[in-house]
Amino acid sequence: MAETETKHHPEHHDEDVHDANYQAPPEKTIEEIMAADQEDESLRRYKETLLGAAQAEKIIVEPNDPRKVIVKKLALVVEGRPDMELDLTGDLTQLKKQLFVIKEGVQYKVRIDFIVQREIVHGLKYVQKTSRLGVTVVVDKMKHMVGSYPPKKEIQFYLTPAEEAPSGTLSRGTYSVRSVFTDDDKHIHLEWDWTFEIKKDWA
């Protein structure tokens, strides 16, 4: 089942996930953020816009889940085709059994749907490492700065820039992916493994 709390995973604190030279600012609550720099009118208005309803009430979408970030879904988005989706709220060990088929050479994007509750989160990142199934060598890495997000009652999402699927006979086959949704404070909000297959056509 999905983890019930955000954990630190020291084994993932390498250059692939976190910048060793980057020092994240200290974590602050919404109350601390709103109380700072009150004399700066433009900054105060900016913070009010950023935080929205979260400045007036503590937004808790799922009371029984203590996490600040709850990752709901991953989707592969290809123009002109239905989104291919992975439900990330259940048994993550079963995800590898759900094989995505991607036509070689197409442009695709990855969308992550998530909820932010309780407090603002800073410097969210999405990291993805892809390996050829059965081979330990990583063939592709992507690392995207997702940004900072306030608590909201609605699901929020991040859409990566377009990537091009590999093409050619040698590129066809099944690939294993390790995805990590993390942040500047080195919290691993969720990590999961999934698979896709590159084929000559969609069928």
The CATH code of the domain that includes 131 is 2.70.50.30
The residue segments making up the domain with residue 69 are: 59-199
Task: Report the chain's mean pLDDT, rounded to a whole number.
Answer: 80
Res 105: pLDDT: 94
**Is pLDDT at 194 greater than 80 in this prediction?**
yes
Residues 35 and 69 in one domain: no
Residues 139 and 73 in one domain: yes
* Confidence bin at 135 (pLDDT 50/70/90): confident
- Rounded to an integer, the average pLDDT of 117-133 is 89
DSSP sequence for the chain: ---SS-EE-GGG-STTTS-TT--PPPP--HHHHHHTTTT-HHHHHHHHHHHGGGGTS---S-TT---SEEEEEEEEE-TTSPPEEEE-SS-GGGGGGSEEEEETT-EEEEEEEEEE-SS-EEEEEEEEEEEETT--SEEEEEEEEEEEE---SS-EEEEPPPEE---SGGG-EEEEEEEEEE-TT-EEEEEEEEEEEEESS--
**Is pLDDT at 56 greater than 50 in this prediction?**
yes
**Is pLDDT at 183 greater than 80 in this prediction?**
yes
**Count of structural domains within the chain:** 2
In a domain, 94, yes or no: yes
Residue 179 and residue 37: Cα distance in Å, rounded? 37
**Is pLDDT at 72 greater than 90 in this prediction?**
yes
Residues 66 and 164 in one domain: yes
Residue 45 and residue 151: Cα distance in Å, rounded? 17
- Rounded to an integer, the average pLDDT of 19-33 is 55
Residues 37 and 63 in one domain: no
Residues 74 and 98 in one domain: yes
Last residue of one domain, picked from the residues 35, 57, 79 = 57
In a domain, 21, yes or no: no
In a domain, 40, yes or no: yes
In a domain, 15, yes or no: no
Last residue of one domain, picked from the residues 57, 73, 103 = 57
Residues 92 and 174 in one domain: yes
Residues 103 and 42 in one domain: no
Residue with the bigger pLDDT between 2 and 114: it is: 114
Q: Against a cut of 0.85, is the pTM above it?
A: no
Last residue of one domain, picked from the residues 57, 75, 100 = 57
